Amino acid sequence: MTSYHKPDEKTLQGLKDIANKLRILSIKATCASNSGHPTSCCSMAELMSVLFFNTMRYKADDPRNQCNDRFVLSKGHAAPILYAVWAEAGYLKESDLLNLRKIDSDLEGHPTPKLQFVDMATGSLGQGLGAACGMAYTGKHFDKSSYRVYCMLGDGECAEGSVWEAMAFASHYQLDNLVAIIDCNRLGQSEPTSLQHDTETYRKRCEAFGWNTYVVDGHDVEELCKAFWQAQQVKGKPTCIVAKTLKGKGLKDIEDNLNWHGKPIPKDRTEALLKELESLIQVPNKTLCPELPKDDAAPADLSPILLPSPPAYKKGDKVAPRRAYGVALARLGQSSQRVVALDGDTKNSTFAETFKKAFPDRYIECFIAEQNMVGVAMGCATRDRTVAFASTFAAFLSRAYDQIRMGAVSQTNVNLVGSHCGVSIGEDGPSQMALEDLAMFRAIPTCTVFYPSDAVSTERSVELAANTKGMCFIRTSRPDSEVIYSPDEKFEVGVAKVLRQSDKDHVTVIGAGVTLHEALAAADMLASEGKNIRVIDPFTIKPLDASTILTSARATGGRIITVEDHYKEGGLGEAVLSAVGEEPGIVVTRIAVTGIPRSGKPQELMDLYGISAKYIANAVRQTFAN
């Protein structure tokens, strides 16, 4: 076994000097912006110095190189010290740090991937470790590369359950290329943390979760060098370094005192404190350069990923869209090694298991931990290393909404798939019925929302999502549905399909998923009475094909009826309303689920909540009567 070589005294002094430089730069930046978290930066200065200038291997002039070690700042409020590190490494100019938090600077209050050295936006606490798990899993199992992943957590955020979901995941998958560092500085925002400096309890908890754990003095660079070296030797377990630190370390009368969180140093005290820190720097101009990484990860292949052949369904076949999702993903997996799938122990319901059977090495079981599943998926997708699809019941994605929201800030390209939507799932009842999911994903600025209505359009949704920039959500229905499109039908994001039309259409009816089939059944019923309606499949709810809807509405006397297996708030009806809202003479009647549903057979429930064919037909007859 390789033995530890303690760094020489010059190197150790250099690391101490860098730590104090990082403190100085953090204070200057937060003073310039008159906001920020200098005391949270000061507690982790030695940790950052040792990590970036002794432990990590990376190309300082190419921060997003695929071979570099990864760093996730889960305690995102300490952004100024991350920026200071990259100034010390020569990537940023020190003068740029004084633009912290300004409207025209990408050095924002919390880190975002507008910066090349940031993979995941953080700041909503408790999320960094899940993303780091995704990066580490990708490095170990997909890239099969030597890069390592480091994640810096605050002690306060360890109260978040998502941290422990990630801890369980990392030990289960023996992610020995992952190191979590807990900056245990005792003080939260408004009062001390629950454990304060009880590092022994942190150690026991981490060990109980299956992590190799070291408790260290977070201000002792020699001890830190050794701990990070030891972590590299450990096989079969992730490592957690619990670093006992002092918030505001090095700042007289501020160090380890409450009520300094998120406050810049007062102007009348800054000069004296900076002088004190500068006096500790012994060799001001010594530069320590990071070691370069091994060149053992290939650049990402960004070529389009297409289905190897058209969907193998015939019109009239009965296939559940959720089942078609699994088939589509497995077929897409044949076209590209980059396609990976994740699920939260629902793979035999979402049909992610079809992909798992075809490509077991590219499937990640995340168990019943949806927040972590979404975080891991986003971590897998960073630096375009994978095209990640994560699936569960759509209702359970609401649990991960904060991760989803932060995914937009992270510019993630992750694809989320929610099955079992609406009352049409039947007997399982309201706890399993997604009735808010369209509202949830429509509110995400970077999200494309697919709502396929048959097996062919589901396969094309999956293919399009794999090639669409930004987050994608695919809503897959549970019931078997008739195939209404031929295998060679072309689909595009933001382009609707008009399925029934004539010169005598009286109303435009827009349905999606199960309600599209109900609308078609209603059209047949009404046709036998001599009443014609136009039926539209929107295909994507966001972006919505406003021009097709407007053209149809004008051709049908300005009358639109929307019908959806979703609550009224934020769903298909509201999407249509916002698309036509400024057009005079258009009236939108919305049919949607109201109230909390109950168990029952799918058809019974669709009748009970008024979204079935006969209720659509009644709504159309009403417009005739009017």
Active site residues: 370
> Which residue pairs from 29-33 have beta carbons closer than 8 angstroms and sit at least 24 positions apart in sequence?
29/80, 29/83, 29/84, 29/97, 29/98, 29/100, 29/107, 30/80, 30/100, 30/264, 30/265, 31/264, 31/265, 31/267, 31/270, 32/97, 32/98, 32/99, 32/100, 33/100, 33/101, 33/102, 33/264
Q: Distance between CA 547 and CA 273 in Å, rounded?
A: 62
Q: Is 530 left (phi over 0), alpha (psi -120 to 50) or beta?
A: left
Give the residues across from 220 on adjacent strands: none
Cβ–Cβ < 8 Å for 67, 297: yes
DSSP string, 444-493: STT-EEE---SHHHHHHHHHHHHTSSS-EEEE--SS-EE--S-TT----T
DSSP string, 83-147: HHHHHHTTSS-GGGGGGTT-TT-S--SS--TTSTT-SS---STT-HHHHHHHHHHIIIIIS----
Q: Is the peptide bond before 543 cis (omega within 30 degrees of 0)?
A: yes
161-172 and 128-137 helices cross at what angle (nearest 10)? 20
Q: Which two tokens stand for residue 409?
A: 């800030």
Q: What is the CA radius of gyration of the chain?
A: 28
Q: How far, CA to CA in Å, does 503 sit from each of 395, 500, 616?
A: 41, 11, 21
Q: Is 248 left (phi over 0), alpha (psi -120 to 50) or beta?
A: left
Q: Distance between CA 338 and CA 302 in Å, rounded?
A: 9
Q: Distance between CA 88 and CA 285 in Å, rounded?
A: 11
- In the chain, DSSP finds a helix count (H) and a strand count (E) of 21, 19
